[in-house]
Structures are given as structure tokens and as C-alpha cells.
Structure 1
């Protein structure tokens, strides 16, 4: 298996600020153009994951398609995961609303013509609160819940869960000038079984009902995935799979791969003890390693854990390493440079080296990460929380500057351009150098515990090799520059397939929060 790099972006954020007569401010399908795709290729990216394609609840109406009430929409733009129509794309992403499917196909063709693979979200566990309301769902498919028996809390044939005789009580009041949202009987919310969801619940969504055996719900969701496969989509990032029965997911993946064997499935999963189940039994191609490497790296970067924990996580994962999707950021997590994480982007390099170079696991880069976006703006619903809002119409200055840079070669701040240069170099190296893209890994920390200058709590080192060559990588998570001896035993060279027959001792200098690579 060879390493690949996924680039995640929310298309609406790929904008350059307000344009005359345009409300809201949003990136379009057409903004994902050839210069941008060329930029991705120059970074070693092979897969583009566009978050927020499927039509979701929003406060903006479009040519006869009514807006949702603000009471059941988070932010003005709305959550990309509050699905209104699984067979539609968001009208606000199109230059011509009535031509949005044609524009989507053109985008898909551009991506494929550039040599990239196309990944989109599959949201199997919940829909928008007002899903199915007249005028919202435009596809010819039977809407979920249309044939439900609402007089019972649960029955196998129902798509949703109900609370007969109880009205929904929302944790937020209706917006001024709008009627209250009503739902009777109340349905279970996306992440809680209650007719009275709290403000921290996914109150804007409705939970789907799955049985452990095949039902009409299974078939409807299968047809949704098949619809997008037939469009040419290459893979799906599957949202919150632990909230859906494993039996359904296993059946779905098996059925889809019979017709579309090259389509990949990536699971958003958080319970480490279930990793092997989701790979070996359910059949996912790749898993988020949020609870493993991401959480471990975050703790090491912040000085809350020893670098030894990186080895422990590596040992826990074992043969699953190639099936992990590593990352330092995504839309759910706080930006690395935010005050809630590392505080600055320049501290990212040691963590980047481990996440990107320590194995053949694919790596995911989140749009703006490569120029140090901090996520410290109060964009609306999210307020200042270290994340870039997925709920609001907004222009992110660093991303707007990146967009200008992609098209003109200028526009970035000096520190952003410097950071981007280092990211591009490391990303490209990870996929172009066989030692990193498909080579073997040997953790060297255990044999350097007593090496001069080596701090096992703040330093980390490993050897990668392929085809008779090897690369030593030494990472420094300390706030101080390091000078350390690194011992490489003969068996390490042999393990990674390097012809160097003798054990080696090298004196290595590593700047703080950084890494160095030494070729052999």
C-alpha cells in the first residue's frame, strides 16, 4: 500500500470576500478550478474531499425552494450534516441554481481530468429537522419517513423514532418575525433519544432508525450511495459510523463494492478498541485515527504527554497502521495554531513529521492548515473556539489570501508563504520518496533511551527505508533546540531494506518544534 494525501475543504469557504450583489458570501463549484487543482497536485495531494456538497438546511431560500426556520438551523449557513435532500447538491454552490447538477458534474470532471480522486460525505445517521417538508426535497425518491407509523415510538419498518403524544421542545426560541418550529409527535434527535434535546445536542437533526437486519431504510441508504457512485464519486467519508449498526455498514460496503470495486470508504470512528472491528469485520478501507495518533500528538505537543506515547500508540495499532487516516486538523478539531492547541503554526513541524512520515498511513490536510489559519475569529454560531466555522457564511482571511496566491503567485503574508513552502516540501516528499510512500518503518526510540542528548519524553526518531535506501527522521517536540546522538542498530537497516551493513551513530541537531531528515 502506498501513501496518499487527502485535502479536505468546505467549498463555501473558498471565497475572496463579498462580491457586488452576492448574498451570502460563498465559494462556488466554479472556484475549484484548474489553478487550484494544479496547486493541490504540487503539494502531493491525490484525493480531494469536499465537505458540504449534499443539500443541507440553511436560512437562505433559492428560487421556489424555501429556507428552513432559523430555530432549526445552526448559524446562517447551516450544518453540512443536517441533510435536506441526499440526491441534491447545495444551490448556493452553483453560479446558476437551476444548473447546479450540471455544474457539479463539470467540477467532478475537472477533478478527474487533473488526476485527483473525488471524495464526498455520506451521512447515514441523521437528517435535517425539517427534512421532508413540502418544497424542500426535490428528488423523485420516496422521502425517508413518508411511510412511517407515527403512532408508535419504534417499529422495524419506520425510518425515524417517535414520541407519540409529545411535542418537540427545542432549546432555542424562534427567531424574531418567524413562527416557532413545530413537530408533533416529536422525533428523536441526531445524538439523543429525547423530545427535549439540549442546546449542546444535535437538536437541528433527526436520528435515523436502523435495525440489525435489512429493512427499507437500508435499501434507501444503499440507493443514495449508489446514486453518487454512478456519478463518478471515488470515495465516501462516512459520518459518525458508531451511531449506525455495523451490520448495515458491512452490508452496504459489500454491496457497493460488488458494482464499484475501486470506491473507498473512510470511517469517522472514535473508539480505539473497535478499530479492528471496523476494518476486519465491517470492511472500511480507512479509519480516522482521532483517538489514537491525533490525540496522542496533541498531548505531546502541549506537553501533556511523553513522546513515548507515540511508540505505545504505534504498538497498539500494529498491522492496522496502513488503514489509519492521520491528520493534524479537520473541521471538527481545533486549528493547530489556535490558542486552544499549540498557539502558533510554526510549532507544527515535529507533529507533521510524525503524522505524515512515520508510516504509509494516508494523511489528511485541512484547507488553511498549510498557511497557519488559527480559527480565532468569532464567525457566528461557533464564536471563538479555535475552529473555522462550518455553520456560517464567512470569509477566512488566510484562506482568501491562499486563494489569491493560487491564482497569482502572491498575496500571502511572509510567514504564511514560509509555512506553505515547508508544508509543500514535506507533503510532496511523503508521496514521491519511496522510503516514505511505501517503505518500512523502524522505531528507534527504544535503542536511544540513554543516548547523549536524547530526551525520550520530548524527542522521537525513526528509520524509513525502501529499495536499498533509508531515511532517518528525528523530531524535537521541545521548546529548546536539541543536539543528540542517534544510534541506529544494524538490524534496523536490514529491516527497512537498506544495504548499510553496520550500526551507526550520528550526532544530530534539531531546531525546537521541528524535525530533520538524514538520508542513507
Structure 2
């Protein structure tokens, strides 16, 4: 079992001069432990139906419920090493199911992706997806009970907010008293007004996209509402910015774009933050916006966020945050943090040139580290990237490294085990070690990653390699862990069991380690120069703090075995105040012991790395 399920760490001491540059000052006010987020697609979690018919109905393919997250299930998630759960797909979005008896209008398949609908086409922000409730009439109460159960297990709750766009058929039937619906007060005779919630195409009517390449809503099934029309007069801009009354089928045709006071020519109809606010705290941002007139959409989304904070939610993942002005984020996030200073705010931003603006001016806690670390590691896992690139990525993000959340899978990305990505879930093991231990940033695990899910099903809308977020479907390897809702892994294969055990050991190590919130220095290039047999498929670095010293080494090669004399440079040994001699190190995952030999001020560890193997060792302190 240890052959490819071992990782190497060596725990330690001291601070380098640039520590305060690498880690934001407010880290000292946070709990000095890693955060691990578990993203779970809520409607798929407890679904034990294995039919998996393409475009299958909720009755044919089944659906999970809030109640499937039992105390037992949540305890198992917590024991995996999880601190926060991101329940994806909770806000009420458009679905193809009849809930009219509960006062919910039917959704038109012509403007819904898939049968279960996109979780990013929200239809009512003050309620939750009726599919997820045993009794849709009590769906808010059932979600509140899930929040309470999650908190009882010591985990935080995250849900999505999608400020850039809403469902084309948005209809807020459960707004709190005094809250007007999106677009209710818009002047639809003009393309733009500061306080309009939407952009309009006056004098036009919306037209359903021209379908091609064999696509048709609901897979071509006869449906009274799937008639090629959807009434919208005048037509609105589409969520991705298309200004056509008939968007393309590859546009976000099921959504409409929200107006934040950005005129059609790109000029801004709101006050901008002074330049010195780049490094001002949340309170300064909150005070700046007090008494200022802001576009109506700003207030609508701020009120939505504060509603869910009051409801018990602990934070948000913001979809496509870079498509919304950074000043809005300053306005909303400072309001959230004023109400709940510990709120967890994660944003989807893909333009590295905007990272620092959205962190410092937008007051985001965390951004996806997709374009930098994820893309680099993915290339290495696929066999055509070099580990030499990882230090360059980490060095380039030193000043914001704590703010860049790491992941290997999420709902937008291909599954590691899919042929389109790596074709083997084990290739994610060394990558996860590096992703989880190389910085102080949070780590994210997507449900089913820990069981090696390949996402091979043809669900309906879209294609395999990503677990469908648009249709009712089962997740086979994960269902084997669910085991008829025993949540004990009773149906997992031996390989799946070992893989999940690896993730459990690794993630629990990360949340228990002091060193992972301390210093980092790569030793990769030193070993590449001085260690025989060491090459660009191996990666190594050190992490340390006063009471822990850590060395990480991983083998990304799926075929090659390495026998190495791993070297720890003299300057690191000096920082750790280690004298010449032998030191016992203990594997932080599986408990085996080895020796660290310090000779002439340089450290040496004899390492035999099997394919896809890593090691974690802790210096045994006297």
C-alpha cells in the first residue's frame, strides 16, 4: 500500500527575511491552520440511482437531497480533513420540473441548459433549489437544518453568489418585504440607465439561439414549452455580454447580464476608489461607501449576501467575479465583513493581471489559482510539463500566495481520471501533495476526486470528462462510497479505498501542521544541480516554522523509479540550527522512520521514490 501512497515532509524552525512580504499581515489574526474546502455538487451527493440515462428525468435518474447530508455523512467529510463545505447549486436556479403546486413557475427548456439546469442561472436569490428538498414547500427550513448540522460537525458553510448574471426567466417570488425584483423598476425604453438592473435592446424581441451540431433542448424530446420561443420584449443583453437579440448557442443564452453602472461604451457611472485604498482595511472601505449613491444592482446583491449571512451561511464563492467592477466588490465585501469579519470570500478570477486588484481593492479573501499553479501542474501530470516551472509560479505569487486557493478539480474542470485529463486518478497524488503543502493558501477537493471519479457518463447537455452540472445523473465511484447512504465506502474497489485513504491522510496532515503556515523555500534546483539522477519529473522544497521542519519531495513520473540522496542545502540546515549528526524523521502519513544525516553542514536523506510516490517526514524533536 505504501508504494505509491507515501509523501515526504521534514518539520522545522526559523524565519527568512521576506516572510512578511510573502504572507499578508492579517494572517496573524487568522487561525494558524490550513483551510481545506470540500466542494460538493449538492444534488449529486446523495443520489444512489445508477440508471444514468442521457437527458433522464428526475424520476428516471434520481436526485440527492439536503437530508442526505446526515450527521454520519458530515462526520465522514469532516474526518477526511475538511474545514469548509461549499454546497454548490443551492440558490434556486431554473430547472425542468413542475413545482407549480408550490407557487413556482415552470421554466422554459429553450432557455435552460440541460434538464436539471445550470446552478449559475439563478432564478430566485431568496430561496433554494426545490429539487434538493424532501418537501419543496419547506425547502428553506431543510437547508437551514443542513447548515446547523454542518456547524455541529465543526465545519463552515459556503454557497454560490453569481453577481454577473441571473436566469433569463428570473422571478423572485419569495423576496423579503420591501425588496423589489430584478428589473421591476427598469426603464426598458433605453439600452442603459444607471439604476436599471439589466441592459436592453430597445425595439427588439429575444430569439432562441439557432441550434446546430445535433443539439436540441432536452435532447429533442417533445415538450410543450420547448417550442423554439421565449417571450422577452425588449430583448436583454446575454450574461457573457452578447448584445444580440438572438445570442449564439455557445453564448450564455440562458442568462441575462446585470448592469453595475458600466455604460455600454465602458465608462463608469459610479465613484471610483482612491488609489491609496489599495492597502486600506475593510473598515475604511465600508466607511468610504457610506452615504454615496451607488447603482441599484449594487444594493440588490449586497442585500442578498447579507440575507444569507443572517441565515447562517459562512461565506460565498463568487462566479466570474472579474466581469463585475472591482468597486462593487469593495462595496459588498466590506459590508459582509463588517457584519461577519470571519466570512470566507472566494472569487473566480482568471486574469492574473487583475489578481491584486481584486484582493486589495475588492477585499477578496481568496482567488482561484487556476491560470498559474493549476495549469502548470496539469501539464506536468499529462507528461509534457516540467516541475522546473513550479518554483517560477510560486515565486511570482509570493506577495499574494496566501490568497490563491489551490485545486486539482472543480465543477468546471476535467476529472483527473478522465482520458481527456490524465487517465489515471493516481496521477493526482503527487500533484495534490504539492498543491496542498507548497503555500499557506487554502486547498480545495472536489467530491469524487478522492475516489478517482472519471466522469465517463453522457448525461445530456455537454460531454463526458466533467461531472455534469446540468443534468440529473449519478457519480458511480462516489456512489460506491455512499454505499446506499451508509457513507462508509462499502462498495469501493481496493484501489479507490487506497486513494481515498491517501487523501484523508494528506488532508489531515495539512490541517494539523504548523509548518505549512510558515516558511517556504524550494530545494529543487539545488538537487537538480547536485544530486545524481534527480530531474524535472521530481519536485522538492522545504517548509518550516519554529516548532516544525518540513521537506517535501514528489515523483510525478508514472513509470520511473528514483533512488536519490536528497540534499538539504547548508543555509537551510543553518536556519534550522541542526549540527552534524543523525536525526530521526517520521513519515507524516504512514509513520515509518528514516534518518536525516547532517554532514559538513549539509542534510542528506536517502529516498527511493516509486512512480507517483511522495514522502512526508517530520523531524522527531527531543
**1:486 CA displacement:** 1.8
2:119 to 77, 80, 85: 80
Question: Is structure 2 residue 122 aligned with structure 1 residue 43?
Answer: no
| Residue matched to 1:114 | 153
User: In the aligned structure 2, how far is the partner of 1:489 from the partner of 1:220?
Assistant: 56
| Residue matched to 1:166 | 204
| Residue matched to 1:206 | 256
**1:52 CA displacement:** 0.4
Mark the CA change 1:291 to 1:59 in structure 2 (over 3 Å): closer, same or farther: same
Question: Is structure 2 residue 401 aligned with structure 1 residue 302?
Answer: no
User: In the aligned structure 1, how far is the partner of 2:39 from the partner of 2:528?
Assistant: 38
TM-score of the two chains, using structure 2 as the length reference: 0.80
Which secondary structure state, in structure 2, belongs to the residue aligned with residue 449 of structure 1? helix
**Equivalences for residues 367-378 of structure 1 within 5 A:** 367-378=447-458
Highest Rg: 1 or 2?
A: 2
1:6 to 10, 15, 37: 37
**1:44 CA displacement:** 1.2
**Equivalences for residues 414-429 of structure 1 within 5 A:** 414-429=494-509
Which secondary structure state, in structure 2, belongs to the residue aligned with residue 410 of structure 1? coil
**1:22 CA displacement:** 4.8
Mark the CA change 1:197 to 1:439 in structure 2 (over 3 Å): closer, same or farther: same
User: In the aligned structure 2, how far is the partner of 1:256 from the partner of 1:418?
Assistant: 41
Which secondary structure state, in structure 1, belongs to the residue aligned with residue 397 of structure 2? helix
Question: Is structure 2 residue 191 aligned with structure 1 residue 153?
Answer: yes
| Residue matched to 2:528 | 449
| Residue matched to 1:512 | 611
Question: Is structure 2 residue 521 aligned with structure 1 residue 482?
Answer: no
**1:494 CA displacement:** 4.7
Aligned residues: 513
| Residue matched to 1:272 | 352
Structure 2: which 5+ residue stretches go unaligned?
1-26, 28-32, 52-57, 262-267, 271-293, 581-600
TM-score of the two chains, using structure 1 as the length reference: 0.95
| Residue matched to 2:541 | 462
Which secondary structure state, in structure 2, belongs to the residue aligned with residue 450 of structure 1? helix
RMSD across aligned C-alpha pairs, in angstroms?
A: 1.9
User: In the aligned structure 2, how far is the partner of 1:351 from the partner of 1:25?
Assistant: 34
Instruction: With a CA cutoff of 8 Å and minimum separation of 6, indicate the structure with the bigger relative contact order.
Output: 2
Contact 1:468–1:499 (8 Å) recurs in 2 = no
Question: Is structure 2 residue 245 aligned with structure 1 residue 182?
Answer: no
Structure 1: which 5+ residue stretches go unaligned?
none
**1:131 CA displacement:** 1.0
Which secondary structure state, in structure 1, belongs to the residue aligned with residue 125 of structure 2? strand
What do residues 342-391 of structure 1 show as CA deviations (whole Å, max 9, x unaligned)?
A: 1011111110111011122110000000000001211111222x100000
User: In the aligned structure 1, how far is the partner of 2:191 from the partner of 2:384?
Assistant: 45
Mark the CA change 1:500 to 1:422 in structure 2 (over 3 Å): closer, same or farther: farther
**Equivalences for residues 426-437 of structure 1 within 5 A:** 426-436=506-516
Mark the CA change 1:346 to 1:182 in structure 2 (over 3 Å): closer, same or farther: same
**Equivalences for residues 104-503 of structure 1 within 5 A:** 104-132=143-171, 137-140=173-176, 141-171=179-209, 172=211, 176=222, 177-178=224-225, 179=227, 180-194=229-243, 195-211=245-261, 212=268, 213=270, 214-384=294-464, 386-404=465-483, 407-436=487-516, 438-479=517-558, 480-495=560-575, 497=576, 499=578, 502-503=601-602
**1:454 CA displacement:** 4.2
